[in-house]
Amino acid sequence: MQSPELILPLSIAAVITGITLLVIVRSWWKSRMLPTLLYTLAIACFSGMAIDLLLDQAYLPFRDWYIEINGQILWMSNLLLAFLVVGGFLFWYFAIMYSQMDSLPRSALFLTFIAGGALLGEIVKSSWSEQIPLIAEAIAAAVLIFEIVKYARVVRRVTEDPLERRRVNMYFLGFLLWIIALPIGIIVGGISSELSFVSNLWPVPYTLGLLLVAYTVALNPRLLFISEARPLDFLILDKNGTLVLTHRFNYYEGSIDSELMGSAISGVISLMKEMLASGQELARIDHGDVKVLLEVGIRSTCLLVVSRETARFRQSLRNAMLEFEADYRYELENQGTFVSAFTPFKTRLEEMFL
């Protein structure tokens, strides 16, 4: 049933979603990180969802578009909406996970299974399966709220700057307001038609939530992949194993002089390369509570000491290695170059890893 009163809030929601998409695409373009790409795909899905819902209310021919399979009518508006909502939530969940860790936990398989159940219940809908999408969406909302709250508690604990902490609070408040739109709009509305006046309020938290996310990300694009993981030290060895650049991001327990660390790691790399079978590459060294990530290039070996390995650090390390070799190709090939020639690259490291 059409609800003309929803056209204005849905139009506003569609515009705000589009603005948020532009902000997140800008963040992805600057960082090229996996979490920002996943957020981009998520917001793209929700942009499609907002347009789908708006057309459903404002454009009658769109409501009459359907396909018939084995005598069962599937309204394309509802089917498209189901794919966009489920896809958006999955991309958003994966983005949260990859912001914190290098690989997905087992719970990701569970949530993916639940999402598949929601789609199946929407496509193969009969008297026995009408409540499947509702149950699946309720479980998905609960999982997402739990992950968002857990993620926020970890990040707030390691954020020391007062201004940055306020931005982090606004960012996660936007997350929560946005996710509240799911139980209000889909779950409450699916329980009883008598509660439609409540379910029609979902554009309010949805729009406010995305507006907060867009605002805070516009101020600090790195909010999309903030984590408790921290970069600690960065070192570059030339092809002869000589330390040519060191940079310390944060002091940490057990840290030693960068020169000594570079010499020690150079010896460890040489030893382990001899121990590894031919064709294998050394990608990480575990050292107590820290991890040493390695990226081997044609003219150099870059090392990043981190408190925890994440996909962001691994990708940033590779980007740093490629950029360093491109910018300092002559210096790396010239044996008489002073180490001080590489010092300007430290400013770029701050931009890439912090």
pLDDT value of residue 66: 66
pLDDT at 219 over 70: yes
pLDDT at 282 over 70: no
Q: What share of the chain is helix, strand, coil (3-state, %, to 5)?
A: 65, 10, 20
3-state secondary structure of 286: strand
Mean of pLDDT values over 214-240: 82
Confidence class of residue 279 from pLDDT cuts 50, 70 and 90? Answer: very low
Least confident of 187-191, 206-210, 283-287, 347-351: 283-287
Pick 226 or 39 by higher pLDDT. 39
Pick 214 or 258 by higher pLDDT. 214
Pair of tokens at residue 265: 């790691």
Least confident of 75-79, 85-89, 170-174, 286-290: 286-290
pLDDT value of residue 324: 92
pLDDT at 121 over 80: no
Pairing of strands 243-248, 231-238: antiparallel
pLDDT at 274 over 60: no
Least confident of 58-67, 180-189, 246-255, 290-299: 58-67
- Which residue bears the tokens 């990859």? 98
Confidence class of residue 179 from pLDDT cuts 50, 70 and 90? Answer: confident
Sheet order of strands, 231-238 included: 243-248, 231-238, 300-306, 290-296, 284-287
pLDDT at 215 over 80: yes
Mean of pLDDT values over 165-192: 78
pLDDT at 45 over 50: yes
DSSP E strands, the chain? 66-69, 72-75, 231-238, 243-248, 284-287, 290-296, 300-306
> For the chain, which domains are there?
4-225 (1.20.1070.10), 231-353 (3.30.450.70)
Query: Angle between the 34-58 and 7-31 helix axes, to the nearest 10 degrees?
Result: 160
Pair of tokens at residue 38: 């996943």
pLDDT at 175 over 70: yes
pLDDT value of residue 145: 79
Element holding 141 (H helix, E strand): helix 132-158
Pair of tokens at residue 43: 């917001």
Confidence class of residue 164 from pLDDT cuts 50, 70 and 90? Answer: confident
pLDDT value of residue 194: 66
- DSSP states of 202-219 as a string? THHHHHHHHHHHHHHHHH
Least confident of 6-15, 178-187, 226-235: 178-187
Highest average pLDDT, of 143-152, 220-229, 230-239, comes from: 230-239
Pair of tokens at residue 106: 């087992």
Mean pLDDT for all residues in the chain: 76
